[in-house]
Amino acid sequence: MTGLTYEICVDSIRGIVAARDAGAQRVELCASLIEGGTTPSLGTVLVAREIRDIGLHMIIRPRGGDFCYAPEELVAMETDIATAKSAGVDGFVFGVLDPNGAINVAANRRLIERARPAAVTFHRAFDMTPDPFAALETLIELGVDRVLTSGQEPGALEGAETLARLVEAAGDRIVVMPGGGITAKTVHRVVAETRAREIHFAAMAPVESAMRFRRADVYMGGELRPAEYDRMETSTQAVATVIAAAEKVGR
């Protein structure tokens, strides 16, 4: 065994169950994964909290797009945190940047104070900062528990060299958790090259729609959209396959 902690990115109640049954220790619960994840509904959070034997972290992101938020968006984020904290969520995942791409210290401090004593992860907004090592030190000063990052590359495998340097620089002061494009084919290299102790990934498979009657010419949303009757769901087998591949890494 590697001693790794596995966090699975999910967007449904079934996804949480699948991740737990595959042996993951924690999930990051999101909505709208096609946008990189946004805040899930309160109803989803309340039902999710009823699932036992797996840690529940949730993303706090009021919209897709950049991570520079207006004052009213920050208030909404604080409110979402307070509501979910009362439901017993174990941790929160968020990140706010200033217009120059640096960590917005004041805004993140507000959210961290609202989130405590729950755990705090700074998400891949970190990968949009101009200097990851300066950003890392800022997060440590703020008392953030972990940072989710691909090493400022499209995926964790491409960013493995930077991730390894971040893991070394972090020491025991903060957890550096690689994420982004990790699959059963790449996880062993990411783990071996970065020496990270926690990893984050999604493991989904297509699910056939239950709809028998379908309108091919009517759809929800804009022109850039997933097919109306196609969806992906977190798969127990897919999660287990990635975990099994990671466990083969000698440590």
What is the C-alpha separation between 132 and 150, in angstroms, rounded? 11
Q: Domain holding 17: CATH number?
A: 3.20.20.380
Token pair of 171 as six digits: 């020491």
- pTM, two decimals, is 0.92
DSSP 110-172: HHHHHHTTSEEEE-GGGGGSS-HHHHHHHHHHHT-SEEEE-SSSSSTTTTHHHHHHHHHHHTT
What is the C-alpha separation between 206 and 241, in angstroms, rounded? 16
Greatest Cα pair distance, the chain, in angstroms, is 56
Residue type, 135: A
What is the C-alpha separation between 250 and 108, in angstroms, rounded? 37
The SS3 assignment for 77 reads helix
Residue type, 200: H
Q: What's the domain range around 67?
A: 5-211+220-247
More confident residue, 206 or 24: 24
DSSP 39-73: PPPHHHHHHHTT--SSEEEEE--SSSS-S---HHH
List 146's β-bridge partners, or say none: 121, 175
pLDDT, tens digit, 9 for 90 and up, residues 216-246: 777 776 666 667 777 889 999 999 999 999 9
Number of domains making up the chain: 1
Chain-centroid distance, C-alpha 95:
11
- Span 29-45, average pLDDT: 95
pLDDT, tens digit, 9 for 90 and up, residues 146-182: 999 999 999 999 999 999 999 999 999 999 999 999 9
Indicate if the pLDDT at residue 247 is higher than 60: yes
| pLDDT value for 208 | 84
| pLDDT value for 221 | 66
